[in-house]
A and B are shown apart, each in its own frame.
Chain A
């Protein structure tokens, strides 16, 4: 298991380094000169040269990237200011370290991701299990139509509708606000209910469909039939035998979805006016703040890669064939 994990972590590290290289090259090697963006209207050539020097753009691009990479672990002293240990550079906009901005926004993304993924896993798998338990029943058919609909709606459509109905008209739920768990835990919770619910809709339909078909498949397996023939209770067989077999693929999808929501649920944040990583990414792009874009991109990629490793580890825990291979 340890060897398995070491191998996976090393592979992930290589992927992250490559992603940082590709992103860096694309951002800084292309014709849009960051100096032109950050010096505004009164650009003289000497002005531009000064900015190049300040941003370190006078060096070869590979050297720049290497400095950037080293800076993430060791911190850097940039001409425009000090940038402590996890240094993702200084924001073009107001010269604050990118890491401070990321850290400031991450609680919102994290709360949204944890709340939303909890809901979509429970609702999705729950619906799928009940549908598989009562195959062909009214509930099964209703659940599958609802899932189809859920798979086809978009957050930017149902989000405003939900706000209008549940918050504006009925006043049941808060219309969504950034959490501040330290200061107002109560309002942080109520402010997240609606965004988490809406975000979960587009995810859980996939889980309920997958869970149902996997369970149906598992229930016709030989070992499940044997367990039944031995006289085990059908609920026990359903949960202990069939569900265990169906878990692998579900965990895989869950890992992929987690990777994407922990990197920032951009459209959900935009719809509900939350200020998480996704919002930061959009504003970085509109303000052409390249270091900030780099930072958000790397955080997003890191979360995808980390959850890939976790999925593999879970797989190995469930299924000994993979662990021993």
Chain B
């Protein structure tokens, strides 16, 4: 079983029994059957039973695999993301629109070709997912690392450190997020490149990651701090302290295992937020730049041509909706699997 402390901290205030969901009897019976299994195994068993969760996990894994193996997929597919098929093969008419109906969908270009430049939409989308997901995953990993560290330090040390770090994160939370991203991406870029020079794509990638990371860690930091504050007062921590355990041991062996649920669930939920934020920046013209394939840039392009070529909009759009839905549902399922007492 997961420790009761975890559930108590997670759902303080929502522990009232739900008339439909929470049947204490069945929970106990199940626990009796499964004696001798580790919490991880139990969580995995619960997760496997959750069909929606499994489906979402498969979809999410699919997206990640697409991102990782983008070059291979595109190679097998036979078209690439940079060739201007529309102009070279004469697939665009005089207005720069695909000649064939539905955005130029055919056997060679499965999702059609983009208006004006005439690149292959399927290849663009695969590579675009790679860019956006890459930025988002980097942001998420960095934010989670910093958020957990800061939260642990704040909660465990407490006192003045807690106060000042807390006020600093308050200050950062008062920054208008989107404005901050937009305004500071060029500022961070100017750290690396002189204005006016051509910057390589990886620098833009780094700048986008940094700017989102700076404002990305506070919410997780707060959650972790609140949990550590309540865990710190528990008997088992006291016992560990009395038996002479070092702070690092207490943090690693006593505190962190109880925080995994929060960390895992929150980071699952952070990924889609970061993906859509990155795409939003590129959509506004301050994120990734053409000709780098990017999810947000596809939206920018499609929004400019929606009246003449609506089909182009649907591929990045529907892909993103599926992606975000899958991640959100996966987050819920992970929570349910790791923490049976949370009633939602």
A interface list, Cβ under 8 A from B: 15-16, 18-19, 22-23, 26-27, 30-32, 36-37, 135-136, 148-149, 151-154, 156-161, 163-164, 168, 213, 216-217, 220-221, 260, 263-264, 266-267, 270-271, 278, 281-282, 284-286, 288, 293, 296-297, 300-301, 303-305, 308
A158 CA / B303 CA spacing, docked (Å): 10
Are B328 and A30 in touch, CB under 8 angstroms?
A: no
Q: How far is the CB of A250 from chain B (nearest CB, A)?
A: 15
| B280 at the binding interface (Cβ < 8 Å) | yes
Q: Which of B311-331 contact A (CB under 8 A)?
A: 313, 316-317, 320-321, 324-325, 328-329
Does the CB pair A282–B285 fall under 8 Å? yes
Query: In this complex, what residue of A is CB-closest to B190?
Result: A32
Q: Which residue from A148, A151, A260 sits with its C-beta under 8 Å from B177?
A: A260
The stretch among B75-83, B97-105, B167-175 that forms the contact with chain A is B167-175
Interface residues on B, range: 35 or more
Which of B25-33, B39-47, B181-189, B221-229 forms part of the interface with chain A?
B181-189
Rank and list the top 7 A-B pairs by shortest CB-CB distance, nearest first.
Answer: A300-B176, A152-B324, A32-B190, A157-B317, A160-B306, A152-B325, A156-B299
Q: Is the interface of A mostly helix, strand, loop or mixed?
A: helix
Sample 7 A-B pairs with CB under 8 A, ordered by A number: A15-B171, A160-B302, A168-B307, A221-B16, A260-B178, A282-B285, A285-B286
Is the CB–CB distance between B16 and A15 below 8 Å?
no
Task: Flag if A151 contacts B328 (CB, 8 Å).
Answer: yes
Is the CB of B203 closer than 8 A to any CB of chain A? Answer: no
Query: Interface digits, B249-287 against A, CB 8 Å rule (1 contact, 0 not)?
Result: 000000000000000000000001000100110011110
The distance from the CB of A185 to the nearest CB of chain B, in whole angstroms, is 29
Q: Are A213 and B344 in contact (CB under 8 A)?
A: yes
> Which residues of chain B come closer than 8 Å to A159, judged between CB atoms?
303
Contact A152 B321 (CB under 8 A): yes
Instruction: Please report the C-alpha to C-alpha distance between residue A281 and residue B280 in the assembled complex, in whole angstroms.
Output: 14
* B16 lies within 8 A of A217 (CB): yes
Cα–Cα, bound, A135→B186 (Å): 49
Could you tell me the distance between the alpha carbons of A163 and B305 in the complex, rounded to whole angstroms?
12
Neighbour of B306 across the interface among A148, A164, A221, CB < 8 A: A164
Q: Which residues of A contact B187 (CB under 8 A)?
A: 26-27, 30, 32
Inter-chain contacts of A151 with B (CB < 8 A): 324, 328
CA gap between A31 and B280 in the complex, in Å: 27
Given contacts A156-B280, A267-B280, A301-B176, 5 further A-B contacts (CB under 8 A): A15-B170, A152-B321, A152-B324, A156-B303, A282-B285
Taking beta carbons and an 8 Å cutoff, which residues of B are in contact with A? 13-14, 16-20, 170-171, 174-180, 182-187, 190-191, 194-195, 272, 276, 279-280, 283-286, 296, 299-300, 302-303, 306-307, 310, 313, 316-317, 320-321, 324-325, 328-329, 344
Contacts of B325 in A (CB 8 A): 148-149, 152
Evaluate contact between B320 and A160: CB separation under 8 angstroms.
Answer: no
> Which A residues are CB-close (under 8 A) to B284?
266-267, 270, 282
Q: Which of A220, A260, A308 contacts B176 (CB 8 A)?
A: A260
Q: Complex: how many Å from CA A308 to CA B325?
A: 30
How long is the Cα–Cα vector from A32 to B339 in the complex, in angstroms?
Answer: 50
Instruction: Contact check, A157 vs B174: say whether CB atoms are below 8 A apart.
Output: no
Cα-based distance from A164 to B182 in the complex (angstroms): 28
Q: Which listed residue (B175, B184, B310, B316) contacts A164, Cβ 8 A?
A: B310
Known contacts being A148-B328, A297-B176, A297-B180, is A286 close to B286, with CB within 8 Å? yes
- Known A263-B179, A285-B182; judge A149-B286 contact (CB<8 A): no
B179, closest chain A residue (CB): A300
Determine the residue in chain B with the shortest Cβ distance to A294: B183
Residues of chain A within 8 A of B13, CB atoms compared:
217
Task: Write the nearest CB–CB distance from A49 to chain B, whole angstroms.
Answer: 19
Residues of B close to A221: CB separation below 8 A = 16
Question: Do B306 and A281 touch (CB < 8 A)?
Answer: no
Query: When chains A and B are docked, how far (Å) is the Cα of A135 from the Cα of B194?
Result: 60
Report the separation of the CA atoms of residues A27 and B299 in the bound assembly, to the nearest whole angstrom.
30
A297 touches B183 (CB 8 A): yes
User: Are B14 and A220 in contact, with the CB atoms below 8 A?
Assistant: no
Say which residue of B19, B182, B195, B320 sits within 8 Å of A157 (CB atoms).
B320
The answer to whether A220 and B17 touch across the interface, beta carbons within 8 angstroms, is yes
**Do B182 and A154 have beta carbons less than 8 Å apart?**
no
A149 with B179, Cβ < 8 A, contacts A37-B195, A164-B307 known: no
Q: Which of B14, B179, B329 contacts A281 (CB 8 A)?
A: B179
Residue of B nearest to A151 (CB): B328
Report the minimal beta-carbon distance from A113 to chain B, rounded to whole angstroms.
13
B174 engages A31 (CB within 8 Å): no
Contact of B195 among A36, A135, A152, A220 (CB under 8 A): A36
CA distance A136 to B20 in the complex (A): 10
**Which of B183, B283, B321 is the one whose CB lies under 8 Å from A285?**
B183
| In the complex, residue of chain A having the shortest beta-carbon distance to the beta carbon of B305 | A160
Q: List, in ascending order, chain B residues with CB within 8 A of A164's CB.
A: 306-307, 310
Q: How far is the CB of B324 from chain A (nearest CB, A)?
A: 4
